[in-house]
């Protein structure tokens, strides 16, 4: 593709496309990279430049871009059926996928409600939990316990259960009320804890106290298991998730696990909940489910929740919720093929050396003058940059240090997207060890350049 065409695409983009989470005034002053191709862990722009996909195309990509087997599965399905509705009809691919997923989701989670993105999966979870409580004769249980720093998506229900002020505060007048618990953020903890374990315990004590006070008016608790992604890759101390499960049981709350980002291998196991042998009552899955190819999500629950919705039609126990593209056959066919590849590539086993390598590389990064904290959970990591390491003083957000590092990284052939002052490492799970080195090398050079290390 010649440069004139690139220039035209850039101009048309600026004229017509409103980008998510983007200050468009800045964007209009930049020369956006226009991606036209993908190959394995790489994205290729309209001028033929290659970028290592350091954020797995918004945390979705699993087996690399344009993987032959997935492309073939998509082509085969599109020649059979592109879409038909699940409202009043069943679909071959959505049936096969639900059956297959039931074999790998935590025990007892085998009732699948399809939608098409992470936010809708969470909207479904929240509405399902509330309606469940109402059907069981507890309509006063209408609120949710949520966590500070949490992110569950951008639709209004998902925003209501979120806890990141910079994204969510503007919409407060539109949101429903929740009970917000502290979350363990050991590096910059507001509870004044001495270490990770102490931080976890303090948060659990605070959560217990909140539940004692509010559980009678709450339907459930919403949590990102093991790691809060968009909040800054904030990793919970070991045992935290299990204790949250215990508290939910003690106080009669449904536990909703948002595995939209963690599901499908990201943490080193298929689902994050497995690390602590936790079975939530409701689990939301999206992103990696269709390997980064197509929008797909499921909200999965157990027989107890599902059963509460059964009754005569006139009892109006029906779950009145649904999306046009629910259970789309193309996306389900890809998801099925992706699960085949998990097995044939022994992907979860192959992840372990990559996770180990990332751990070693992060340990080295933590020695840099302006790296305050490094956090890792499986093949997801955050490198928090600080102005003064000694006193853990953050860079002022206006300095946009994370964005500047990512802009610098592009010159090194790396595409990354920060979370505030935290540089994110979240590559396709199929990334090679050499590529992982390249990714961390490029980010390290960029951090050194921008922070003047
Ligand atoms: C944990 C979690 N939940 C929900 C979402 C929302 O997913 P989507 O952007 O597909 O609506 C995200 C997106 O990053 C997420 O990380």
pLDDT at residue 283, as a whole number: 99
The protein residue whose alpha carbon is closest to atom 16 in ligand 1 is 261
Q: Check residue 346 and give left, alpha or beta (phi > 0: left; psi -120 to 50: alpha).
A: left
Q: Is 350 exposed, middle or buried (0-12, 13-18, 19+ CB in 10 A)?
A: middle
CA of 348 from ligand 1 middle (Å) equals 22
CA-angle at 153, arms to 428 and 35, nearest 5°: 40
| 232 alpha carbon, distance to own chain's centre | 11
Looking at the CA of residue 259, tell me the nearest atom of ligand 1.
1
Residue of 51, 104, 156, 151 lying closest to 442 (CA atoms): 51
Tell me the CATH architecture of domain 72-344: 3-Layer(aba) Sandwich (3.40)
Residue of 286, 293, 325 best suited for mutating to test ligand 1, as the one with most atoms within 8 Å of CB:
286
**256 within ligand 1 shell (Cβ under 6 A):** no
The full set of domain ranges for the chain reads 33-63+346-451, 72-344
Bin 378: left if φ > 0, else alpha if -120 < ψ < 50, else beta: left
Quickly tell me which residue has 């098409």 as its tokens.
Answer: 116
Q: Pocket of ligand 1, candidates 57, 116, 120, 153: which has the most ligand atoms within 8 Å of its Cβ, to mutate?
A: 153
φ and ψ at residue 147, rounded to 5 degrees: -120, 145
Measured by CA distance, the residue closest to atom 7 of ligand 1 is 118
How far apart are the CA of 315 and the centre of ligand 1, in A?
34
For ligand 1, whether the C-beta of 228 sits within 6 Å is: no
Per-residue confidence in pLDDT tens, the chain, 453 aa: 555 799 999 999 999 999 999 999 999 999 999 999 999 999 999 999 999 999 999 999 999 999 999 999 999 999 999 999 999 999 999 999 999 999 999 999 999 999 999 999 999 999 999 999 999 999 999 999 999 999 999 999 999 999 999 888 899 999 999 999 999 888 877 777 778 888 899 999 999 999 999 999 999 999 999 999 999 999 999 999 999 999 999 999 999 999 999 999 999 999 999 999 999 999 999 999 999 999 999 999 999 999 999 999 999 999 999 999 999 999 999 999 999 999 999 999 999 999 999 999 999 999 999 999 999 999 999 999 999 999 999 999 999 999 999 999 999 999 999 999 999 999 999 999 999 999 999 999 999 999 998
Residue nearest to atom 3 of ligand 1 (CA): 152
In sign, the C-alpha dihedral spanning 352, 150, 326, 76 is negative
CATH number of 33-63+346-451: 3.90.1150.10
Q: Express each pLDDT in 64-116 by its tens digit.
A: 999 999 999 999 999 999 999 999 999 999 999 999 999 999 999 999 999 99
CB of 261 closer than 6 A to ligand 1?
Answer: yes
Q: Which of 114, 147, 151 to mutate to test the pocket of ligand 1 (most atoms within 8 A of CB)?
A: 151
* Cα–ligand 1 centroid distance for 59 (angstroms): 9
Q: Dihedral of the CA atoms 40, 329, 283, 63 (nearest 10)?
A: -10
pLDDT tens-place string over residues 253-268: 999 999 999 999 999 9
Q: pLDDT digits over 178-228, tens only?
A: 999 999 888 877 777 778 888 899 999 999 999 999 999 999 999 999 999
DSSP 288: G
Ligand 1: does its nearest atom lie under 6 Å from the Cβ of 258? Answer: yes
**Tokens, residue 367:** 């020695």
Q: Ligand 1 in contact with 224 (CB < 6 A)? A: yes
- Judge if the beta carbon of residue 153 lies within 6 A of ligand 1: yes
């Amino acid at each position: 593709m010649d440069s004139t065409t690139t220039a035209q695409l850039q101009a048309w983009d600026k004229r017509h496309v409103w980008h998510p989470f983007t200050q468009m005034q800045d964007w209009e002053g930049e020369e956006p990279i226009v991606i036209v191709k993908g190959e394995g862990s790489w994205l290729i722009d309209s001028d033929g430049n290659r970028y290592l996909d350091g954020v797995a195309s918004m945390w979705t990509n699993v087996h690399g871009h344009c993987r032959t087997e997935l492309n073939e599965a998509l082509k085969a399905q599109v020649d059979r059926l592109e879409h038909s509705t699940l409202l009043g009809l069943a679909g071959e691919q959505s049936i096969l996928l639900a059956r297959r997923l039931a074999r790998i989701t935590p025990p007892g989670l085998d009732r699948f409600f399809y939608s098409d993105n992470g936010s809708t999966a969470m909207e479904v979870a929240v509405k399902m939990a509330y309606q469940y409580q109402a059907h069981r004769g507890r309509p006063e249980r209408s609120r949710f316990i949520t966590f500070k720093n949490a992110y569950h998506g951008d639709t209004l229900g998902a925003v209501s259960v979120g806890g990141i002020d910079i994204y969510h505060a503007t919409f407060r007048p539109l949101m429903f009320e929740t009970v917000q618990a502290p979350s363990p953020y050991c590096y910059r903890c507001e509870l004044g804890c001495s270490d990770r374990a102490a931080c976890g315990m303090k948060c659990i004590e605070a959560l217990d106290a909140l539940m004692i006070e509010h559980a009678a008016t709450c339907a459930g608790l919403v949590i990102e298991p093991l790691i809060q992604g968009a909040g800054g890759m904030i990793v919970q101390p070991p045992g935290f998730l299990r204790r949250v499960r215990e508290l939910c049981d003690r106080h009669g709350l449904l536990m909703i696990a948002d595995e939209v980002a963690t599901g499908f291998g990201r943490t080193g196991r298929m689902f994050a909940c497995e690390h602590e042998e936790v079975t939530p009552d409701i689990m939301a899955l999206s992103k990696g489910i269709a390997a980064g190819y197509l929008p797909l999500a499921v909200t999965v629950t157990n027989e107890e929740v599902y059963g509460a919705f059964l009754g005569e039609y006139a009892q109006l126990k029906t779950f009145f919720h649904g999306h046009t593209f629910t259970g789309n056959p193309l996306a389900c066919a890809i998801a099925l093929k992706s699960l085949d590849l998990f097995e044939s590539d022994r992907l979860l086993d192959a992840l372990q050396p990559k996770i180990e390598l990332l751990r070693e590389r992060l340990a080295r990064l933590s020695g840099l003058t302006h790296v305050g904290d490094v956090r890792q959970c499986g093949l997801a990591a955050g490198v928090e940059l600080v102005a003064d390491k000694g006193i853990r003083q953050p860079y002022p957000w206006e300095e946009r240090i994370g964005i500047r590092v990512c802009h610098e990284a592009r010159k090194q052939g790396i595409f990354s997207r920060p979370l505030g002052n935290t540089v994110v490492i979240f590559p396709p799970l199929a990334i090679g060890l050499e590529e992982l080195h390249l990714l961390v090398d490029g980010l390290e050079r960029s951090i050194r350049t921008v922070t003047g290390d």
